[in-house]
Chains A and B, each alone.
Chain A
Amino acid sequence: MLLIYCPYCEEERSELEFRQAGDAHIARPTNMTEMTDEEFEAFFFLRDNVKGLTFERWRHLNGCGRFFNAARDTVSDKFLTTYKAGLPRPDLSTLRPATEATVETYEATESNAK
Chain B
Amino acid sequence: MADLATRTLPLSGFHGGSGAAALSVASPATRISLRAKPDAVAALSGVLGLLLPTKAKTSASSNGRHALWLGPDEWLIIDENGADLMAAVASSNVLHSATDVSHRNTAIIVKGRGAAVAINGGCPQDLSLAAFPVGACSRTVLAKAEIVLLRTAEDTFRVECWRSFSPYVSTLLAEAAEDAGN
Contact = CB atoms under 8 A, between A and B. Distances in A.
Interface string B124-167: 11000000000000111100001000000000000000000000
Contacts of A10: 56
B125 A9 contact: no
Given A8-B71, A8-B72, A17-B124, A64 B141 contact: no
Contacts of A9: 56-57, 138
A65 B72 CA distance: 9
Interface residues of B, number: 13
Contact of B139 (A1, A14, A16, A64): A64
Interface in A7-44: 8-11, 13-14, 16-17
Given A9-B56, A11-B56, A17 B71 contact: no
A66 B72 contact: yes
A14 B125 contact: yes
Q: Which of the four size classes fits the interface of chain A?
A: 10 to 19
Given A9-B57, A14-B125, A16-B124, A63 B138 contact: yes
Nearest to A3: B124
A62 interface: yes
Interface string A55-79: 0000000111110000000000000
Contacts of A13: 124-125, 140
A22 B136 CA distance: 31
B74 interface: yes
Given A16-B141, A17-B124, A62 B71 contact: no
Q: Which of B70, B71, B146 is the most central at the interface, judged by chain A CB atoms within 10 Å of its CB?
A: B71
Interface of A: 1, 8-11, 13-14, 16-17, 62-66
The 6 A-B pairs at the shortest CB distance, nearest first, are namely: A14-B124, A64-B71, A9-B56, A62-B141, A65-B71, A62-B146
